[in-house]
Amino acid sequence: MSEERVLEFVVPPESARQRADRFVADRGGLSRTFAQRLISEGHLTMNGVVIRASVTLLAGATLRLVIPPVAESEMLAEAIPLSVVYEDDDLLVVDKPAGLVVHPAPGHATGTLVNALLHHTEELPGIAGVARPGLVHRLDKDTSGLLIVAKGDLAQSSLMAQLKARRVKKTYMALVQGSVAAEVGRIEAPIGRDPSERKRMAVVAGGREATTGYRVKERFAGWTLLEVDLVTGRTHQIRVHLTEIGHPIAGDPTYGNGTSRRGPEGTTRLFLHAWRIAFTHPRDGRLMRLEAPLPPDLQAPLDALRLHASREG
């Protein structure tokens, strides 16, 4: 358990009439949900009187917010190797390998990225009152690449707001079957559960809005390497959208056909890698642009395609 923290603020004139929960969340670097929980538990006073989250503030009033000690997480810390691309006191960015589940869930209580993070970051400041890393976005188990992890409420709140405003730019590498006609394209099609197979996603009427952009990076006989921009973040979005336009991803056992599932020579898994991410640092506003090169298991089929092309040429 960590020690209790106390935050005190004097309400400036420009913040008069603002809601208490919004003010203390912004000034204290807390998520609004966590701030509301603390207030509902009686931890916020204005001029010595306990107030509710919806109370409007008075200019010059003194607010005092008590943040109880951070509780230990019930999730296990495990010594699972991590590839850390960037780390500071607020966040870290990891290069997740394919096959690693991101978060504990039924059937995956241990052996996940979160379990590895709890071991790596031994002194988490805590998010929403619990010592745990803050996953602000996710990757499928079979997708490799970059993931941002918040260490505290300030980072989590900022990064979640950036994601909601679509100011976090995520770019993937995908090798797809066939020759993609347009050098640059944009797919806008709603995604929801496949009505005939509930474990799959599909383009369906009434699904959630989904947008994917792409650019051709390299062409081969029968295959195209794409840079893919994930504008929205729906489950299996890139896989579903590329299949929808007739270009399933190499090595995809769920959405591919016979040829694409096998992939070119050297394919051992889904050829989808989150290789670049760009966002604003939550504390100092720096533009963060980070990259993770293709791992060896994805580089191998590319090398085989290039070798074949050179022989044909």
Q: Round to whole Å and give the CA distance between 271 and 173.
A: 8
Shortest CA distance to 33 belongs to which of 153, 162, 147, 150?
153
Helix (H) or strand (E) holding 32, with range, is: helix 32-40
Q: Round to whole Å and give the CA distance between 146 and 130.
A: 24
Task: Specify whether the CB–CB gap between 236 and 242 falls below 8 A.
Answer: no
Task: Specify whether the CB–CB gap between 142 and 298 falls below 8 A.
Answer: no
Phi-psi region of 186 (alpha: psi -120 to 50; beta: other; left: phi over 0): beta
Shortest CA distance to 82 belongs to which of 132, 156, 146?
146
Question: Does residue 26 have an active-site annotation?
Answer: no
Q: Helix, strand, or coil here: 44?
A: strand
Q: Which of 90, 140, 153, 297 is the catalytic position?
A: 140
Question: Which active-site residues does the annotation give?
Answer: 140
